[in-house]
Amino acid sequence: MTSSGLVSGILLIDKPLGLTSHDVVAKTRRAAGTRKVGHAGTLDPLATGLLVLGVNSSTRLLTYVVGLDKEYEATIRLGAGTTTDDAEGEFINTAPAGAVEALEPAAIHAALAGLTGAVLQRPSSVSAIKVDGRRAYARVRLGETVVLDARPVTIAALDLLASRPAADANGAAVLDLDVHVTCSSGTYIRAIARDLGEALGVGGHLTALRRTRIGPFGVDRAQTIESLDPARDLLKPAEVAAELFTVAHLDAQQSADLRNGKKIPIDGPAQTTIAAVDPEGSLIGLFEVKNGVARVLVNFPADEGSIT
């Protein structure tokens, strides 16, 4: 598929297992016929679920999507910790014989409760956080020991959905927990697995992860990369803005003035991002109200076409 003129909007993709977020962006660029495609928050190759992509000028909206709260479904394996806090890493500790079998449901629920709320979380050492100019995961791959500083995050919900006794590749007893997580941006689900294992004294790591929601966008609205049709699936900038912000519907003169950079008098709550929409339903830009005047935060071009 190719682009006729410039096209802008948001695409919701259900990333499959094995692909990187960059792989999905590359495939979307080819499908949409444009190089300007970005995403709001990566997913590891072993993770699946929702990726929010911006096409052309709508990449400017991604700044406002990245920081939204998120939901995940994950599987945590209790019984061993790994260097990466997930199944790709090497084992660094294993539970003593009989420790996993001795875990009581009440202890597991208490440990989960202890990880919820406003907490300080130490990111996984294989995160993309930079340490002295280099990504933490790159330092780990070079054999360095990386311990990152704890950061404040909010884990609003950490619910146990199911538990299954199992055995690892060496025949040792493990316990797989399926959990549902609602959390703030910047939360590492791998770190939750690690911290839960440490709290219970048996070690833990992540074996499966699926992102099901970012802000108002659920994975149930997403397309697979194989079935993606940008002409059909692109969410218009104004539609997306209406899900993220208060909307101000401007008349033709106000729309023209705002597009030309003029300050227009307007009513609205201070310190609130407002989406300006013209009479044709196109997104003009985002603004804040200061002293009764619109202060533009970002504008969007008015001449974007469609994918054919």
Catalytic residues: 44
Query: What is the phi-psi region of residue 181: left when phi exceeds 0, alpha when psi lies from -120 to 50, beta otherwise?
Result: beta
Residue 91, CB half-sphere, CA atoms under 13 Å: how many? Answer: 13
> Do 20 and 13 touch, CB atoms closer than 8 A?
no
Residues 6+ apart with CB under 8 A from 128: 42, 135, 136, 137
The continuous run of DSSP H or E covering 35 comes out as: none
DSSP state of 235: B
Could you count the other beta carbons within 10 Å of the beta carbon of residue 150? 12
Query: What is the phi-psi region of residue 65: left when phi exceeds 0, alpha when psi lies from -120 to 50, beta otherwise?
Result: alpha
Give the rounded distance of the alpha carbon of 253 from its chain centre: 38
Which amino acid is located at 219 in the chain? V
Site of tokens 């609130």: 272
Q: Which residues pair with 119 in a beta bridge?
A: 153
Structure tokens at 167: 């055995």
Q: Where are the alpha helices (DSSP H) in 175-214?
A: 189-200
